[in-house]
Amino acid sequence: HGESGMGDGPLAGLLNIHTPSLLELTRANDGSFPFEAVLATIDGRDGVRAHGSTMPVWGERFQVSASSERGETADMIARGRILSLVYYLESIQQ
């Protein structure tokens, strides 16, 4: 969807479908940002399907080596990164 969330990301032209804008999720949901649905879709590890195929599993891609010194797990790091992205998407709603 690109950095702007407008569907104009670098891979949009390579897809067989129109990449939708993510700027009107709140409007499309009666004025309420669908936080949990967006979180589950981005994470992708719960089997949510989009456009006939699975979304990229960002939950796995956002994992990094965890620091046992700080008590972090790879899953905690991935969830934190995904939460940051969801909060960003919420902040750019029109």
List alpha helices for the chain, DSSP H: 25-28, 35-43, 58-61, 74-91
Calpha distance 71→28 (Å, rounded): 39
Both tokens of 63, joined, read: 């994992």
- Report pLDDT digits (tens) over 17-40: 777 889 999 999 999 999 999 998
Calpha distance 87→44 (Å, rounded): 17
Both tokens of 21, joined, read: 């804008």
Q: What are the residues whose beta carbons fall under 8 Å from the beta carbon of 18, sequence distance 6 or more? A: 7
Calpha distance 13→38 (Å, rounded): 23
Q: Using DSSP, state whether 18 is helix, strand or coil.
A: coil
- Report pLDDT digits (tens) over 43-91: 876 655 554 555 555 666 676 665 656 777 878 888 888 899 999 999 9
How far is the CA of 45 from the CAs of 48, 54, 62, 82, in angstroms? 8, 9, 12, 12
Tell me the pLDDT band of 6, cut-offs 50, 70 and 90.
Answer: confident
